[in-house]
Chains A and B, each alone.
Chain A
Amino acid sequence: MFFHIVLERNMQLHPRHFGRDLRDKLVSKLMKDVEGTCSGRHGFIVAITGIESVGKGLIRDGTGFVTFPVKYQCVVFRPFKGEILEAVVSMVNKMGFFAEAGPVQIFVSNHLIPDDMEFQSGDVPNYTTSDGSVKIQKDSEVRLKIIGTRVDATEIFCIGTIKDDFLGVISDPGATS
C-alpha cells in the first residue's frame, strides 16, 4: 500500500555547497540518499514529493560540515498481509516462483499455486495448466495476495499466493509473442 507521509532526516552538507544553491544541493542530496531505501517501519521510500522545512544548520566542530534537520514529504510503499499486488515474475523453480512488485520481492511457493498447474522444467521453467492455456514463466505478470511479510530494519520480503479467486496470470508474454 502507498502512503504519503512526512519524514525527517538530518542531512550533513559539505562546506563547498554553501552558497546560493545550498537549498537545491540539500534537496538533491536528500533524494539521492533516501529514495529507494527501505525501512522496516515505513516501507520503501519511493519518491520525495516536497520539503516541509529545513531547520537551522549546526556546524560540526573540526570538519566544517553542517547538519540540517530536514522534514520532507514522500511516497512510501509498504506491503501488508492480505494485500493484493500485481507483480512481475522474476524466477521460476520447482519450489515455486519469485516475483517483484517494484522494490518488493515476493515468493509464491508451489503449494500456493493452483493445483491444476504443473511445473515444467527446461530452458524456460514454468508452471502450466494441463491444457496449456495458462502459463507462468519469467516476465509473466501475476496478481497475487500477500500472506506473510518479513520486515527487517532495511528489508521487506513477502510470501504470496495465487490460489484464490481472481488471482493468477494477468498477461502472458509467452502466449502473445
Chain B
Amino acid sequence: MSVEPLNRLVKLAARAFYDDITTKGDNLPKTGRSDNRGIAVVVLDALTRRQWVREEDLAKDLKLHTKQLRRTLRFFEEEKLITRDHRKETAKGAKIYNAAVAATADGHHTGKEGDEKIKLHTHSYCCLDYAQIYDVVRYRLHRMKKMLKDELDNKNTVQEYICPNCGKRYNALDAPQLVSMEDEYFHCEVCNGELVAESEKLTAQEMGDGDENARRRRRDKLEDMLKKQEAQLKPLTDQLNRVKDLPVPEFGNLQAWEARANAAARAANGDLNGNDPSKSSLGLGFGGTPMPFVGETKVEVAFSGIEEKGENIKSESANAPMKVLPPWMIKQGMNLTKEQRGEAKEEAKMDGSSAPSGSVDEKKSATESVDVKSIQDEYVKAYYAAILQRQREQEAANKEQELPSSSISNGAYNTSPQRQLGMKSKRDDQDEGDDVEWEEAAPAGNAIGNFKVNDLNVQADASGDDEDDDGIDWEEG
C-alpha cells in the first residue's frame, strides 16, 4: 500500500491545475499581497503528508488563517479531491482524534491535547480521497483533450441551442420537436422563443468568425493548444499510468480511521510487550464495537488511547498468542525497533510514509513546526537531524520499557513483504526535501496563461500554459 506514487500524482495535478487558483474569486486583480495563488498547491502538498487531519491543526501547521484554509478546502471538496467530515465534539471526541493522531505519530503528540476542548465545538476534518483523485484527474484530462479535438475537427460535435428567453438548452437531437412551420428557426418548446445556436466556445469570441483567414487562424491555434497540452501534461499522464494498477490506500471515514489508528497503536504496543505477533485483533477484547471496514479488524475506541494503555497491557498480552500479524502491524513494530532506527533511517522513513498509519509523516509535520524558523537551506539538514534524534530518544525509551521486542521485531521486519520497497527510499528523500521548499516557496509566476478548468462538469477552458514546468522542476529536484 505505497502511497508515494499517488502523492506524486496529487502534487503534479496540484501544480498542473490548481497553481493559479485564488480562493477569492478570479476576477479580482491579482496584485501584491492579496495574491494567494499557490496556496492551493501548498495545502494539497501538506495533505499528502497527512491522513485525516483536523482543519484547525492543518491551518496552524501551514500558518494559514483558518478561514482561508477552509475556503481552499471547500474548493477542493467541490473538485472532489478531498473528503471532509464535520462533527460536533466534546472533549472526548477530540481526544479520540488526538489519540489517533498520537498513534500515527508514534506516541508523540502533535498539536494540542484534547483536554482543552471541553465545550461542544464543531470540528472539521479533511483527508485526500486518492481513488477519486485518480478518476477526477483522468476525467479532467479526457475532457480537455476531447474538447479541443472536437472543436479542432469541428465535427462529431452536437450543436447546442439555447433559448434566450428562458435559458432552456437543447441540442441537435431535439431538432424534430423544435422545428416550426412558420419560419426557418427553431423555437423553444416552453416559451416559443427563437433559439440561438451556442457559438463555438473556445475561440469564436476572440477571433470573431466569418472569413477564411479567421478560420485558419483558429485552426492553427487549436492545433497549437492541443500540442502544448499534450507536451505539458505529459508528466501527469505518465504518473497516471504509473499508479494505474496500484492499490489505492483507503483511510475510510473519520471514525473508522481513528478507530483503526488507535487499534494499530495499541497493537504495536502490545507487540512490543508480549513479544508475539498476534496482537492485531486484541482490540476486540476491550469491548469496542468492531467496524465493518475493508476487511481489517477495527475498533471503536471509547477511551483516549495512550493514557489508559497501562491498564490494558495485561489483557493485551493475555489473549495474545494465536493470531497472525498483519503487514501494517509489522511495519509498526519495525518503526519501534532499535537496530533499524540508526542504520536504516531511510527505510524507516519510507516505510512510515507508506504505512497506513503514516507515523513518520505526522512526526515530520511535528518537526516541521519546530524548524520553521530556520533558514531554508539548513532546513533539510536540521530536519534529518531532528528525526534522527527523535528516533534515538524513542529507542532509548522503548528499550527501557520493552526490552524483549527487538529480536522478534527484527525477524518480522526481515520477513516483511514490504521490504523491497526500500528501493524507493532514495526518491522519497528527494521528494521530501522538495516538499520543504514547496511549502515555503512563493508560487512561481507562470508566464503564458494556463489551462484552467474551473468546472469539471462543464468544459476545459484551456488557453495554453506552462505550469507543468513546475512539475518537472520539482521532479528533478
Contact = CB atoms under 8 A, between A and B. Distances in A.
B184 interface: yes
A96 B172 CA distance: 10
B154 A148 contact: no
Contact of B158 (A115, A159, A163): A159
B154 A107 contact: no
A109 B460 CA distance: 24
B310 interface: no
A56 B52 CA distance: 68
Contacts of B172: 96, 107, 109, 148, 159
A148 B173 contact: yes
Given A95-B186, A111-B154, A157-B173, 18 more contacts: A91-B179, A94-B184, A94-B185, A95-B184, A109-B159, A109-B172, A112-B157, A121-B184, A125-B184, A147-B156, A147-B157, A148-B158, A148-B173, A150-B173, A159-B158, A159-B175, A161-B155, A163-B154
Interface of B: 154-159, 161, 172-173, 175-176, 179, 184-186, 197, 200, 215
Nearest to A162: B155
A50 B155 CA distance: 41
Given A93-B185, A111-B197, A121-B184, A147 B175 contact: no
A98 interface: yes
Given A107-B172, A107-B175, A157-B173, A112 B159 contact: yes
A93 B158 contact: no
A161 B156 contact: yes
Nearest to A91: B179
Contacts of A109: 159, 172, 175, 197
A interface majority secondary structure: strand
Contacts, number: 61
Interface of A: 91, 93-96, 98, 105, 107, 109-112, 115, 121, 125, 147-148, 150, 157, 159, 161, 163-164
B194 to A, nearest CB: 10
Contacts of A148: 158, 172-173
Contacts of B175: 95-96, 98, 107, 109, 157, 159
A105 B176 contact: yes
A130 to B, nearest CB: 11
A1 to B, nearest CB: 19
A93 B179 contact: yes
B155 A112 contact: yes
Nearest to A112: B155
A163 B179 contact: no
A147 B157 CA distance: 8
A112 B172 CA distance: 11
B165 to A, nearest CB: 17
A96 B215 CA distance: 20
A60 to B, nearest CB: 39
A105 B155 CA distance: 19
19 contacts: A93-B184, A93-B185, A94-B184, A95-B161, A95-B175, A98-B176, A105-B176, A107-B176, A109-B159, A111-B157, A111-B159, A111-B200, A125-B184, A148-B158, A148-B173, A157-B175, A159-B172, A159-B175, A163-B155
A121 B186 CA distance: 15
A95 B185 contact: yes
Given A94-B184, A95-B185, A147-B156, A159 B173 contact: yes
Contacts of B154: 111, 163
Contacts of A121: 184
A170 B87 CA distance: 69
B161 to A, nearest CB: 8
Nearest to A121: B184
